Amino acid sequence: MTKGQFIELIKRNLQGGDAPAELLSRYDPREIELYINMAFDSLINQNPSEKYNYRQELGLDNWKYDNLTKVFFVPILEDTERKKRYSELPAHILNVIDNNGIRMIFPKHEEETIFFPRKATDDFLMSGLDVGQLSGMIYYKLEGKRVYYSGDINCDWKDVAMKLALKFSEFNDEDEVEVPDGTDIQIMQIVLQMMMAKQPMDIVNDGTPQQTTR
Per-residue pLDDT, 37: 92
For the chain, which residues make up each domain, given as ranges? 3-50+172-199, 69-165
Per-residue pLDDT, 78: 95
Q: Report pLDDT digits (tens) over 179-212.
A: 767 778 888 888 888 888 766 555 455 555 555 5
Per-residue pLDDT, 202: 54
CA-wise closest residue to 166 among 33, 53, 56, 40 = 40
Distances (CA, A) of 138 to 102, 149, 151: 15, 7, 5
Regions of the chain with pLDDT less than 70: 17-20, 45-66, 119-136, 180, 198-214
Per-residue pLDDT, 183: 79
Per-residue pLDDT, 58: 47
Query: CB of 160 within 8 A of CB of 89?
Result: no
Per-residue pLDDT, 64: 59
Query: CB of 162 within 8 A of CB of 74?
Result: yes
Query: CB of 175 within 8 A of CB of 5?
Result: no
Per-residue pLDDT, 50: 43
The separation between the first and the last C-alpha atoms of the chain, rounded to the nearest angstrom, is 36
Query: CB of 165 within 8 A of CB of 9?
Result: no
Beta bridge partners of 116: 139
CA-wise closest residue to 97 among 140, 51, 141 = 51
Q: Please give the Cα distance from 140 to 91 (Å, whole number).
A: 17
